[in-house]
Amino acid sequence: MRWHFSAHPLLILSLSKDGFEGNRRLYQAPRFQEYRRHRLRPPFPTARLPGILSPGRTGSKAVRHDRIEGKWIDAFQRVFALCELRAGDAVAILSETQSRPINVQLAELALHRLGARAVHVIVPTPQQRAPVAVRSTGASDAVQGLKPVIAACAASTLVVDLTVEGMLHAPELPAILEGGARLLMVSNEHPEALERLTPDPALEGKVKAAYRMLRDATEMRVTSPAGTDLAVNVDGALTAGVWGWCTKPGSVAHWPGGLVLCFPKAGTVNGRLVLAPGDANLTFKRYLATPVTLTVENDYVTAVDGGGPDAIMMRDYFAAWGDREAYGVSHVGWGMNPAARWEALEMYDKRDTNGTELRAVAGSFLYSTGANETAGRHTLGHFDLPMRGCTVTLDDAAVVRDGALQGELA
């Protein structure tokens, strides 16, 4: 078989690794086979077909465009229905210019199906201020304190948060919630992941049970075969549970959900955290290849030990902030979602995942450094470090044993 390589745009674009699958599907289409057999250039605009390939903005690089799928509108619609949206409700779709366009469109279409009245609130993605790349912090600075944006969101029944980082820890959040708006952060994930992690209503009861256990506990202890031994006084900590949707005025949730966590008070966390190969660093969106030992004294990481690339990069990233608060504990907790998969990071290109799924893997322990309002610490530096195989006890009762949820949480 001879191929007509000369000038067909798709053949040039097929040099892109990402585009290969899209090309193959197109080439296998009967209509295209026909043109190829006769070595004709097809009359349809192949490089612009939705869901396949088109030149990037610069024209020099191929990019893959996601295509709207009815099943993804269904998924968004299910989540909005769980949020108890009613026909006629005013809903702000909050996004920024670097938001994932398909999720913004899916939100709008799903709201239309429900008969809600949607309004797009779009802000330009602001200039970077951090000395390093920032990933999945939940602390968007997209709104920049803009009062018209806050007012539009605050006057809505629901805010669908599609900012890149998410508004969970944004400074404008209290003002948005004050008037009774609720906010659902749709994590910056590919809709394929969101579809797979459409919340199971059964999760709500289990997360609420875990929330009560953590809220009522005094001491959390975390151990692992790799050598982790951490003690957290959780008395008076700010506790939160997320099952993936929100119904009450002034409440916040994120999709995907399925975790319980707390922000401990100042001076309550001490011990040793040993991140083993296979554990994850979600700031880097990477599974650890080499062990890292974090020494934690009175909330602060005081040593990052390990000779491999993971320890080296963590030391450098911590140091780049030039801010002691970046070493403090942000939150501790564990995952509750049986649909969340540990290997998820391996299944998506980095730009297609925000790693929320790994925070929610049932029975994983999540340790995070960075901002903690309960302890009065504010910083943009943030590590989310989910770990496998840990045992988590609350006042000596195991809620997670060897990475498995226990009792009524299982």
Contact positions vs Fe ion (CB under 5 A)? 368, 384
Residue number with CB closer to Fe ion (137 or 156)? 137
Q: Name the minimum Å distance from CB 355 to Fe ion.
A: 10
Tokens standing for residue 240: 């939160």
Residue number with CB closer to Fe ion (291 or 386)? 386
Q: Name the minimum Å distance from CB 357 to Fe ion.
A: 14
Residue number with CB closer to Fe ion (106 or 142)? 142
Residue number with CB closer to Fe ion (80 or 367)? 367
Strand spans (E) along 162-210: 182-186
Q: Name the minimum Å distance from CB 91 to Fe ion.
A: 26
241/337 Cα distance (integer angstroms): 12
Q: Name the minimum Å distance from CB 279 to Fe ion.
A: 15
Q: Name the minimum Å distance from CB 188 to Fe ion.
A: 14
| Sign of the CA dihedral running 393, 396, 397, 401 | positive
Residue number with CB closer to Fe ion (157 or 188)? 188
Q: Name the minimum Å distance from CB 140 to Fe ion.
A: 13
| Helices and strands (H and E) in the chain: how many | 12, 22
Residue 134 DSSP code: -
Residue number with CB closer to Fe ion (154 or 358)? 358
Answer whether 332's CB lies under 8 Å from 359's CB: no
Q: Name the minimum Å distance from CB 194 to Fe ion.
A: 19
9/149 Cα distance (integer angstroms): 42
Cα distance between the two ends of the chain: 57
* Beta strands at 117-123 and 90-96: parallel, antiparallel or unpaired: parallel
Nearest to 141 by CA among 183, 250, 149: 149
Nearest to 162 by CA among 110, 103, 111, 117: 103
Q: How far is CA 266 from CA 48, 51, 169, 170, 227, in A?
A: 55, 50, 18, 21, 24
Tokens standing for residue 394: 């609350």
264/284 Cα distance (integer angstroms): 24
Residue number with CB closer to Fe ion (166 or 199)? 166
